[in-house]
Amino acid sequence: MPLAQATLNPGEVTVWTVALDRWSAPAHGETLSADERARAALIRLPATRNEFIAAHAALRAILASYQDIPPESLLFTTTCKWCGDPQHGKPQLQDSGGLSFNLTRAGSVALVAVAHEAEVGVDAEPLDRAVDWRAIARRALSHDERAQVEATEPEQRDALASRLWCRKEAVAKATGLGLALNLKTWTARPDRQSPWLAASLDEMPEPVLVSDLDMVTDAVAAVAVTGAGDAPTVTVRDAAPA
C-alpha cells in the first residue's frame, strides 16, 4: 500500500525503519516485479523469503512516496558505475530524479536510506547476532581500528567490532564499490567540521561521511553518504503501511 507523499532536500538523509512483519501481507508483495519475485523464489527458507518480499515491498512504497507514483511502476537498474557491467552495480532507479537509496536487512527489521543528489549507504546487524571480533578484525579492520578494539574491555570487544563493521559496510555501499573496496586500508576518523566520521579513500575524490544510527533501537546500524556537503542532516522515520 502507498505511503503518504514524502519530500527530501539536498544535504538531507532519511533512514526509514521497516518492521518486516507489518509488510508481510500478500497485497504488499504484489507490487514486486517479475525479477524480484524470481529472486524471492530462489530463497529456500520460507521465513527468509518472506522477509525479502516484505523488505522490497516496503522499499518500493518508500521510493514511490517521493515520486508520487504507484510502487509497482518503479524500474531499477544495477549497472556498475565503475566498470559498466549491467549486473553487479549498486541498485538505482532508472528515472531517479536525483533520488538515491540503499536497503539493508537485519533479522526482522530493514532500513532504507534515501538521499537527494548524493550517494547513500546503510548497514545494520541484529543486536542478538553472535559475532567474533577477531574474525571481523581479520576481514575488515585497519591497524588503528584493531588497536581500538583490543584496548576495549574484553566483554565489549565484540559489540565495538560489530559497530565498526557496520560503518565499513555502509561506506562500501555508498561508494558503489561493495566487495571491491579493501576495508582494511582505511579508518573512519572524526571530522572537525561536522559530527560525522570521515573516511578518505583512494578511489573517491572526497571523503565519505559515516555516522552510527543510535536512534535505531532494533539493530547496530550506520549510514554513509557522499556528495551531500560537510554536515548532512539525518532523520529517522517509521515506514508504517497505510
Secondary structure (DSSP) of 81-142? TTT--SSSSPPEETT-TTEEEEEEEETTEEEEEEEESSEEEEEEEETT----HHHHHHHH--
Grade residue 149 by pLDDT with cuts at 50, 70 and 90: very high
| 31 Cβ contact partners less than 8 Å away, ≥ 6 residues apart | 57, 60, 61, 70, 71, 72
Cα separation, 140 vs 154, in Å, equals 19
Judge whether residue 208 has pLDDT over 70.
yes
Q: What pLDDT does 54 receive? A: 97
| 147 Cβ contact partners less than 8 Å away, ≥ 6 residues apart | none
Estimate the crossing angle of helix 46-67 against helix 34-41, to 10 degrees: 160
How is residue 18 written as a grid cell?
Answer: 521497516
Each residue of 49-106: pLDDT tens digit?
999 999 999 999 999 999 989 999 999 998 888 888 877 889 999 998 899 999 999 9
- CA nearest 187: which of 159, 210, 220, 155? 210
Judge whether residue 1 has pLDDT over 70.
no
Q: What pLDDT does 49 receive? A: 95
Judge whether residue 158 has pLDDT over 90.
yes
Cα separation, 160 vs 105, in Å, equals 20
Judge whether residue 180 has pLDDT over 70.
yes
Task: Provide the whole-model pTM.
Answer: 0.94
DSSP strand pairing (12-19 vs 233-238): parallel
Name residue 190's amino acid. P
CB under 8 A, 24+ apart: contacts of 73-82: 76/33, 80/176, 81/176, 82/176, 82/177, 82/180
Q: Yes or no: say if 234 and 16 are a contact pair by the CB < 8 Å rule.
A: no
- CA nearest 101: which of 140, 138, 137, 61? 61
3-state secondary structure of 218: coil
Mean per-residue pLDDT, 130-146: 94
3-state secondary structure of 240: coil
